[in-house]
Amino acid sequence: MTRAKDDLHLMVPQRFFVHGQAAKGDRHMYASRTRFIPERLLPMFERTTWPRAAAAQASSASRAPPIDIGARMRGMWR
């Protein structure tokens, strides 16, 4: 950030994967704003996000029936 002359683009992930979470829980955490950008400087930033994927809604209607992978694996070794 110290060498930016005209523009500076900061990219921050919304969520990131964490290895130390419990095995049965969600292993993602939400990212927090860095302590180096205080609240009073936020109005100076332009926020943009990736658009939500419309394909996720369309694909749920054409979703294939669930497959029991465990049963298939057991069947391969018998």
48 closest CA partner among 2, 11, 7: 11
User: Who's near 19: CB < 8 A, 6+ residues apart?
Assistant: 27
The reply to whether the predicted model has a pTM over 0.75 is no
Three-class SS of residue 16?
A: strand
The pLDDT, as a whole number, for residue 45 is: 85
pLDDT (tens digit, 9 = 90+) per residue, 2-61? 788 888 888 777 777 776 656 666 667 777 778 888 899 888 888 887 776 665 555 555
Question: Are 21 and 27 in contact, with CB atoms under 8 Å apart?
Answer: yes
CA 62 – CA 56 distance, rounded (Å): 10
